[in-house]
Amino acid sequence: MGLDSKQVALLVLLVASVISVVIALILSLVKSSEVPLPPGTKYGMVFDAGSSHTSLFIYQWPTDKENNTGVVSQTHVCDVEGPGISSYANDPPSAGKSLVACLEEAMNIIPPEGQRGAPAYLGATAGMRLLDLKNKTASDMVLSEVSKTISRYPVDFRGARIISGKEEGSYGWITINYLLESFMKYSFGGRWVRPVSSKIYGALDLGGASTQISFIPKVEIADPEQRADFKLYGFPYSIYTHSFLCYGQNQALKQMLVKAVEGKDLSQPINIPCYPAGYKSTIAQASLYNSPCTVKSAPSSSLVQDITITGTGNSTQCQDLLKTIYDFSSCTGKEFCSFEGIYQPPVVGKFFAFSAFFYTFDFLNLTSGQDLPTVKSRIQTFCAQDWTELQASFPKERTDRLREYCANANYVLTLLLDAYKFNENNWNSISFMKQAADTDIGWTLGYMLNLTNMIPSEASASVRTQSYDVWIAAVFFIVLTLALGLLMLVLYFR
Ligand SMILES: *[C@@H]1O[C@H](CO)[C@@H](O)[C@H](O)[C@H]1NC(C)=O
Ligand SMILES: *[C@@H]1O[C@H](CO)[C@@H](O)[C@H](O)[C@H]1NC(C)=O
Ligand SMILES: *[C@@H]1O[C@H](CO)[C@@H](O)[C@H](O)[C@H]1NC(C)=O
Ligand SMILES: *[C@@H]1O[C@H](CO)[C@@H](O)[C@H](O)[C@H]1NC(C)=O
């Protein structure tokens, strides 16, 4: 039983109208997201003045979208020659001079018309926090010299300062989640939505002089000292964050050496299980106690001796030695506690471990999600290698670094397992990463985003949240209704 020509015409009309309604709806979705003008590009730069070195990060973003998440990207990194700025305590002007080469490089990268409007910052971390404790005059002079140098360049310089451990932890956490678009996500139809099941990552940062842990715990954060609250894109976040001064890699190893020589006859060689088997060197006794992290352990006698140390390359003993640098006893009787009596709720969710966590594990090829037993056994094998063989296997590696991978790797293990209390079950929730979205992970991006107000605390009009999903559902419902109507019409004519 066929349809007559009138019925065919009606059907064609109906199909055509359904198609045009669908097209109109799709167009209305897409239209509002269209980029109206070719956007200009803005630049910004941040010096990360760490304890052992300084890096300059240059960022760029399209001006018309500056309040959107995920649009700031890294243009360039410049590594400053020489040590961290805190090492210039006795010669502050040289701290300023050390930045010149990277500033010149930046001026070649940022086009002249973009320079005046480019916000520029210098943030100093734990190395300068320690210098500030040791000699405030010296740290002020260093900051003033680096400021003088940066001020000579035609950028919008907004100051050099020492950032607090809490800021360092918070900005690292913001950087990761901004780059992974955990706050807002660019979605179908060109709108910004908050991901429905917000996948927020925790941050694990390891520097030379301090280490930071930041995450959103399952439980209410009981100690306001370790809590940071902020509102991003209209949503409140409360994160746990703590920075341990003296527990960055270099200061931790200094503490380890202090423990190793404690109560020993220093005229005899001292065995260090964290250095490779067969490694031997002489260190000045005074060099062990020249930091605020170890000065309290200095013996009262004069520190004139040279100490001979010999590596034994034993991971198990190395971890036992490293565990003695943490004060776990202050946590006795406390339910949620890492060390030094510091409150820490149980770690939960996924984490990114970056900076020295990444560099150490990357050298050992341990960044591809290996399980904990594999990691432990790889570190054990590496440490047991003879120093001469090790040097032959890695002829390009700097000797002072090569010597310390065994110690650093074991330090990472004790910090994550014994201090922060990760375990075999949640070990694989940690990703060892250097970058996300082609941008280095660290505190600098979060710092710049916050200080330039590029993460508004209120959601802008263009940001849709749940209502966007309702909108999608409505479109779907309309299309479904029309299709059903059409089907019924066809059946009716039959
Ligand atoms: C970004 O946000 C700030 C403050 O919330 C506002 O002044 C500025 O106009 C916004 N910029 C754009 C491109 O939306
Ligand atoms: C602190 O640093 C300044 C500047 O380098 C130096 O002149 C002074 O002697 C130092 N003070 C101490 C106590 O080391
Ligand atoms: C890591 O892997 C590379 C390439 O396979 C290899 O050359 C290097 O020796 C490995 N490093 C270690 C510490 O095993
Ligand atoms: C960001 O800056 C604002 C001031 O502009 C400050 O109140 C807020 O605490 C900062 N956010 C973080 C995470 O430090």
Residues of the chain under the 50 pLDDT cut: 1, 31-37, 196-197, 463-467
- Distance, CA of 231 to CA of 456 (rounded, Å): 8
Residue 420: φ, ψ to 5°:
-80, -15
Task: Spell out the residues 6+ positions from residue 273 whose beta carbon is closer than 8 angstroms to its own.
Answer: 311, 312, 313, 314, 315, 316, 317, 318, 320, 321
Query: How confident is the model at residue 3, as a pLDDT?
Result: 59
Residue type, 493: F
Residues whose CB is less than 8 angstroms from the CB of residue 44 and which lie 6 or more positions away in sequence, other chains included:
58, 59, 60, 61, 72, 118, 119, 120, 448, 452
Say what angle helices 136-151 and 100-109 make with each other, to 10 degrees: 30
CB 371 within 8 A of CB 300: no
As given in the structure block, the two tokens for residue 62 are 């399209």
Q: Give the residue among 459, 82, 488 at the shortest CA–CA distance from 234.
A: 459
Q: What is the mean pLDDT of the chain?
A: 90
What φ, ψ does residue 354 adopt, rounded to 5°? -130, -165
CB within 6 Å of ligand 4 — which residues? 167, 170, 228, 230, 450
Whether ligand 2 lies within 6 angstroms of the CB of 142 is answered as no
Superfamily (CATH) of domain 38-164: ATPase, nucleotide binding domain (3.30.420.40)
- CA 365 to ligand 3 centroid distance, Å: 6
Q: Residues 169, 203: contact at Cβ < 8 Å?
A: yes
Specify whether 66 is catalytic. Answer: no
Helical residues (DSSP H) of 340-465, grouped into ranges: 356-363, 372-384, 387-393, 399-413, 443-451
d(CA 127, CA 218): 33
CATH code for the part of the protein at 181-436: 3.30.420.150
CA of 407 to the centre of ligand 2 (A): 33
Return the residue whose CA atom lies nearest to atom 1 of ligand 3. Answer: 365
Q: Helix H segments across 227-274?
A: 249-261
- Other C-beta atoms closer than 10 Å to the C-beta of 324 total 15
Three-state helix/strand/coil letters over 86-105: HHHCCCHHHHHHHCHHHHHH
Q: What is the DSSP letter of 194?
A: -
Report CA(266)–ligand 4 centroid distance (Å). 50
Question: How many angstroms does the Cα of residue 413 sit away from the middle of ligand 4?
Answer: 33
Determine which residue's CA is closest to atom 1 belonging to ligand 4.
Answer: 450
CB 215 within 8 A of CB 203: yes
The ligand 3 atom nearest the CA atom of 378: 14
**Closest ligand 3 atom to Cα of 394:** 9
> In which region does residue 119 sit, left (phi positive, over 0), alpha (psi from -120 to 50) or beta (all else)?
beta
From the candidates 34, 105, 167, 168, give the one annotated as an active-site residue. 168
Residue whose structure tokens are 């734990």: 126
Q: Is the beta carbon of 409 within 6 A of some atom in ligand 3?
A: no
- State residue 199's pLDDT score: 82
Helices within 135-234 (DSSP H only): 136-151, 165-179
Q: What is the pLDDT of residues 43-77, one digit of tens each?
A: 999 999 999 999 999 999 999 888 888 789 999 99
Instruction: Determine whether the shortest distance from the Cβ of 433 to ligand 3 is under 6 A.
Output: no
What is the predicted pLDDT for the residue at 329? 97
Ligand nearest the Cα atom of residue 234: 1
Instruction: Give the domain ranges of the chain.
Output: 5-32+466-493, 38-164, 181-436
Measured from the alpha carbon of residue 360, the closest ligand is 3
Q: Is 108 exposed, middle or buried (0-12, 13-18, 19+ CB in 10 A)?
A: exposed
Q: What's the burial of 208, exposed, middle or buried (CB within 10 Å: 0-12/13-18/19+)? A: buried
Is the beta carbon of 330 within 6 A of some atom in ligand 3?
A: no
* CATH topology match: 38-164 vs 181-436: yes
pTM, rounded to two decimals: 0.86
